[in-house]
Amino acid sequence: MNANWKIFEQEKTLEEIFKDYPNALRLVEREIERVKNEEKIVGIDPESWMAKEILWQSKRLIDIENDVNSIKRSISRIENYLIPKSLDTSR
């Protein structure tokens, strides 16, 4: 395994990291392989009801975020119009 790891701003291979601990390198490599084999890929069928619901809700959240930002900008403009900078002592 020749993966490079960035440790303290230096790139090192696993062999360099564990040069004083030969058993540790084998244990780490074995653990990495075990985890890779146990990984489960979870997906959602894009045509399923759940996928369509997630997409719809995501779009709705984006719309809400845009509305909130628009309201914030409007409030800021109103504040600037109603409270001239020279009279505003709170800022």
Whole-number Å distance between alpha carbons of 58 and 40? 25
Helix (H, G, I), strand (E, B) or coil at 40: coil
Look at residue 51 and tell me whether its pLDDT is greater than 60.
Answer: yes
Q: For the chain, what are the domain ranges? A: 4-38, 43-91
Q: What pLDDT is recorded for position 86? A: 64
What percentage of the chain has pLDDT greater than the value 70?
76
Predicted confidence (pLDDT) per residue in 68-85, tens digit: 999 999 999 998 888 876
- DSSP secondary structure string, 20-38? T-HHHHHHHHHHHHHHHHH
Q: What is the pTM of this model?
A: 0.44
The conformational region for residue 8 under phi > 0 = left, psi -120 to 50 = alpha, else beta, is left
